[in-house]
């Protein structure tokens, strides 16, 4: 039978945590948890008052499929460079709009 350190009377090496001491992050978390528990009602009341006195932002169309906001036509005229520098298909559409009276032509 082989003799080991434990059988010879030596204590096995294990780390024991000291009961009262916490590491810095653990102590910070514990402090914040206790502080939150003590002041929870005060924080809720503050939030209620804040919501009553401050206006909420208008919610936009982000992620909403039903929100329909048509754009207004900004320009009401075409000029010569619009016609000269556009592709053929677009030039035809421009000329049709000018002829139908939907848009004006300026020089």
Q: What does the pLDDT look like over 5-33, one tens digit per residue?
A: 555 555 656 555 556 788 999 999 999 99
Where is pLDDT greater, at 47 or 15?
Answer: 47
Q: CA 17 → CA 14, 21, 22, 28, 79, distances in Å?
A: 10, 8, 9, 18, 82
pLDDT at 4: 54
Domain ranges of the chain: 24-54, 77-106
Those residues with Cβ within 8 angstroms of residue 75's Cβ, 6 or more apart along the chain or in another chain? 103
- Chain centroid to CA 88: 43
pTM of the model: 0.32
Instruction: Please give the Cα distance from 61 to 40 (Å, whole number).
Output: 34
User: What is the pLDDT, as a whole number, of residue 65?
Assistant: 62
For residue 75, the model assigns a pLDDT of 73
Alpha helices in 55-107 (DSSP H): 80-84, 88-100
């Amino acid at each position: 039978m082989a003799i080991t350190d434990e059988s010879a009377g030596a204590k096995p090496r294990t780390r024991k945590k000291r009961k009262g001491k916490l590491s810095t992050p653990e102590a910070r978390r514990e402090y914040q948890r206790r502080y939150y528990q003590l002041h929870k009602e005060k924080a809720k009341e503050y939030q209620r008052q804040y919501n009553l006195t401050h206006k909420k932002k208008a919610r936009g169309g982000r992620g909403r499929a039903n929100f329909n906001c048509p754009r207004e036509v900004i320009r009401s005229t075409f000029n010569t460079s619009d016609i000269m520098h556009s592709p053929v298909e677009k030039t035809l559409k421009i000329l049709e709009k000018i002829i139908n009276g939907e848009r004006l032509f300026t020089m």
